[in-house]
Amino acid sequence: MSALAFTLLALTLVGPVPAVLARASWPMRAPRAAIVLWQSIAVAAVLSAFSAGLAIASRLFAPGPDGRPTATVTSEIAVLGWPLWLGYVTVFAVTLLIGARLMLAGVQVAVATRRRRAHHRMVVDLLGDCRHGMNGLRVLHVAEPLAYCLPGVRSRVVLSEGTLAALSDPELVAILSHERAHLRARHDLVLEAFIAVHTAFPRFVRSGSALAAVRLLVELLADDAAVRTAGPAPLARALVACAAGPTPSGALAAGGPTTVVRVRRLSGRPNSGWLSLGAYVAAATVLVLPTLAVAVPWLTELHRLFFS
């Protein structure tokens, strides 16, 4: 029953729950809490998938003739039979494979992203000018409006001559505040975790809704920081001016395909503390209560096998 409960929980958290949450409109008014909820769903789904495999694999320790758990392959086969033993071993091997694939994906995403950023940072330092007495700001001699940041230990905010020409001083302050908010909060690390999980799962299982939603939410958080500094109107005009600018791989840009949604949000209702509170409670519930509900019976059974 524990294995079945874990499996159903994992499938629910991978399929229906992200689909419903991705269509919801309330995260626009509670972006930080919504990110925490997405993180809880992802962690709970991964833990549930692992727990389902381990719960099935624990059946290898079936009680032998003496009532104690079997400890050798031959004794396990004698109790379970070849077909059931092979099934349990296969499930355990798949669980280990998923764990290895997840860790490998995390390492690959981190290494590849940092390599691209390091190369791009080198190019920007060579071709760009340092303006306004700031070592972390580079201005490229490009007519197209560009505004993005390169996170990391040696972070950069990159603008273009076209951006400086198109934006007024309040709009420039807004766009710089937006990019610095990305760097200060390390939104890139949040995105990396979701990219790793998205990459680790097979295409027929994974969904892009979580990754797309979190990408939008981190932009909303940076928008909120810019609004506190420069106000909504200058930020909206700056976002529109930079909307068509390309985003280098590994960077976080001010514009992009979500610009229309974000500009509309700036003229809508403000963030809601009650929605945030509800999202935090939901995140704790998703992460804690279902896990305890299925883990306690399983742990009780293991205690009975090994200590009775």
Predicted local confidence at residue 55, as pLDDT: 73
Distance CA 111, CA 103 (A): 12
284 contacts 40 by C-beta, under 8 angstroms:
yes
Report how far apart, in Å, the C-alpha atoms of 7 and of each of 60, 127, 199 are: 18, 53, 21
What does DSSP say about strands 129-130 and 147-150: parallel, antiparallel, or unpaired? unpaired
Residue 159 three-state SS:
strand
Encode 89-122 in three state secondary structure: HHHHHHHHHHHHHHHHHHHHHHHHHHHHHHHHHH
Cβ-proximal residues to 214 (8 Å cutoff; 6+ apart), any chain: 35, 38, 190, 191, 194
Predicted local confidence at residue 73, as pLDDT: 62
Residue 203 three-state SS:
coil
Q: Which residue has the tokens 């995403």?
A: 109
Predicted local confidence at residue 130, as pLDDT: 81
- Does the CA dihedral 220-223-225-231 come out positive or negative? negative
Predicted local confidence at residue 47, as pLDDT: 81
Q: Which residue has the tokens 């420069």?
A: 230
Predicted local confidence at residue 14, as pLDDT: 79
Q: At 250, list the tokens.
A: 């590994």
Q: At 162, list the tokens.
A: 């076209």
89 contacts 222 by C-beta, under 8 angstroms:
no
Predicted local confidence at residue 136, as pLDDT: 80
Predicted local confidence at residue 210, as pLDDT: 85
91 contacts 53 by C-beta, under 8 angstroms:
yes
Predicted local confidence at residue 307, as pLDDT: 65
Residue type at position 149:
C
Divide the 308 residues of the chain into consecutive groups of 10 and give the mean pLDDT of each group. 74 84 92 94 84 72 60 63 73 79 89 91 88 76 92 90 92 94 93 86 71 93 95 94 85 87 91 95 87 66 62
Q: At 241, list the tokens.
A: 């001016």
Cβ-proximal residues to 158 (8 Å cutoff; 6+ apart), any chain: 124, 128, 137, 138, 139, 140, 146, 147, 148, 149, 150, 251
Predicted local confidence at residue 129, as pLDDT: 85
Distance CA 295, CA 281 (A): 21
